[in-house]
Structure 1
Amino acid sequence: MFYLYLVTTILLSLTIIIFGFIFIKRPPKNINYLYGYRTSMSMKNQDTWDFAHRYAGKVWTILGSIALFIFTPLTIILKNIKHYDYIMVILIIVQVAFVTLVIPLTERALRKTFDKEGRRK
């Protein structure tokens, strides 16, 4: 099970980082309902759409890096602990929570930068 947890931890972290880089370097060009950071605020206009993707990409890159450099060593260090399986499930849940943490952080940045109509403050 150790190798499964190790691979899962690394893949989750790398996935977050990769999507972060994609959102920074190649965000969806146009507002759409299929792909991208889609919230009512981010879809107000092209400016909010572009801002949200750059910001979310930066957040995901940072969170993915934190996850990679903290959770991967923990996965290795804790492998001989009695309740390793339970600890790993908790660590994986925390990593998945990192994916969703981008939403409140990006929405807060959107509200600080734009008014309710999507115009820059």
Structure 2
Amino acid sequence: MENSSEFNEILLSVGFVGMTLIIIGFFLWKYPPKKVNHLYGYRTRSSMKSQERWDHAQAFSAREMIKQGVLLVFLGGVLMLFRDLTLLVSITIFMILLLGSFLVVIARTERSLKDKFK
């Protein structure tokens, strides 16, 4: 049987990604990019249409990143209880949670932009 500590390290990564999202979200919330740019911040075609849209997207997406980060930290802690998962299952769970959290941030921010700027 494979070493179960490997699986725990993979599942522990969920919490590390969550902490990273919290830190990045906090940084973007406190120090948002002031002007529309192609380098830093929440950059989509929709968010870059005007300065007002840009400012809204930066604040909204930063809060969403923090929320998703907190959720991932919590889920990472819960997942650490499951020690007998196979490597494939652990990696699959990690990828689903990672991609899912990013998709949630994007979907909610884009919906907020659409609702606010009809």
What is the alpha-carbon distance in structure 2 between the residues aligned to residue 90 and residue 72 of structure 1?
Answer: 17
Percent of residue pairs identical: 31
The structural deviation recorded for 1:28 is 0.9
Q: Higher relative CO (CA 8 A, sep ≥ 6), structure 1 or 2?
A: 2
- Runs (4+) of structure 1 moved beyond 3 Å? none
Find the counterpart in structure 1 of residue 37 from structure 2. 32
User: In the alignment, is residue 11 of structure 1 matched against residue 16 of structure 2?
Assistant: yes
Find the counterpart in structure 1 of residue 107 from structure 2. 104
Structure 2 gaps, min length 5: 1-5
CA RMSD of aligned residues (A): 1.6
What is the alpha-carbon distance in structure 1 between the residues aligned to residue 93 and residue 23 of structure 2?
Answer: 20
**Between Structure 1 and Structure 2, how many residues are aligned?**
112
Q: 1:89 to 1:6 in 2, by over 3 A?
A: closer
Match of 1:54 among 59, 68, 71: 59
Scaled by the length of structure 1, the TM-score of the pair is: 0.82
Match of 1:68 among 67, 73, 77: 73
